[in-house]
Amino acid sequence: MTIQKIQQPNLKTQKMIMADDVQLSVYEWGESSPEFETIILIHGYPDDASVWDKMAAKLSHNFHVVSYDVRGTGNFTAPISSKGYEFQYLLSDLNYVISKVSPKRKVHLLGHDWGALQGWEAVFDHDLQTKIQSYTALAPGLDHVGTWFRQHLLSLQPQQQWKAIKQMISSSYMGFFNLPILPELSWNAFLNKHWTKLLSKIEDQQLQHSSSHQLRNGINGLELYRKNLFSSLISQKHRITQVPVHVLSMRHDPFVPQHFLLGIEDTVDALYKNTEIEAGHWGILTKIELFIEPISTFIFSIKYDDMLQD
């Protein structure tokens, strides 16, 4: 059973907020209120918050929707040091956004790509998870991926080891993003100019989405890989969250294979749900209508359960 209120879709507004060493650029559809749950959307690489605009507009019929540019992207100022892209600073930004847009009520998180990785870190964080009502993840966390690689590489079965090696080859672009200079040169020489065309090819659908900050997003976002990827994969932890989790698995995602999702439920000591979506990696741009209903139904089910407990 779901409880649902309908409101007129809200126009997007922007606010700039100072937070420690950076300036946050936060976007809202509507305002925080007792009537409407707050959803915070966290984008991935190499996007900025504008990747959520169409989906946010649709969700705003039923929710107070918030997105923000992850540090170094969009209108968000970049940290002075590359160390500022480590998870601890990304979580600090999220905590600051929550305190500004929903200071008295828990929020619902929705994360895509690197935004999903940040979301997992948030719900595993002892303090931050107390501010989160539910988490909808469009990718597994680095703990989950690292565990999968460890289990297969250390397996005594050659077939399992070979599967891990093939996955490492498929994911070799991540290693490339960790190299010095070359990824930046690629963005300047080719990727920035042809990003929309490449995105359309990946999704097998003509897309018009483009960000005026695309070059900045691509170059600055490389530090997400350099400061977090290998350290987290090598020293993965088995952490448990008490936050209800909804995984939206995009069946045609070439970057997040379905086998990475196996066993995620073991890290969730709360309601866990997996919904398969017939979409590719950027389905949030190409198949928006497939996401709205499962996202909304899960959030309303969480709200209804809380009302029964109260």
CATH code for residues 12-309:
3.40.50.1820
Q: How far apart are CA 42 and CA 24, in angstroms?
A: 13
Decide: 245 and 268 in contact? Cβ < 8 Å. yes
For residue 125, pLDDT over 90 is answered with yes
What digits encode the pLDDT tens for the residues 172-212? 999 999 999 999 999 999 999 999 999 999 999 888 777 88
Average pLDDT, rounded, for the chain: 92
Residue spans of the domains in the chain: they are: 12-309
Task: State mean pLDDT over 81-87.
Answer: 95
Q: What pLDDT, on a 0 to 100 scale, did the predictor assign at position 7? A: 67
| 8 band by pLDDT with thresholds 50, 70 and 90 | low
Q: What pLDDT, on a 0 to 100 scale, did the predictor assign at position 30? A: 86
Q: How far apart are CA 234 and CA 247, in angstroms?
A: 24
What digits encode the pLDDT tens for the residues 16-38? 988 877 888 999 998 888 889 99
Helices (H), 139-213: 142-153, 158-170, 172-177, 182-186, 192-203
What digits encode the pLDDT tens for the residues 279-292? 999 999 999 999 99
Helix (H, G, I), strand (E, B) or coil at 132: strand
Q: What pLDDT, on a 0 to 100 scale, did the predictor assign at position 206? A: 86
Single pTM value for the model: 0.94
> 271, exposed or middle or buried, with CB in 10 Å at 0-12, 13-18, 19+?
middle
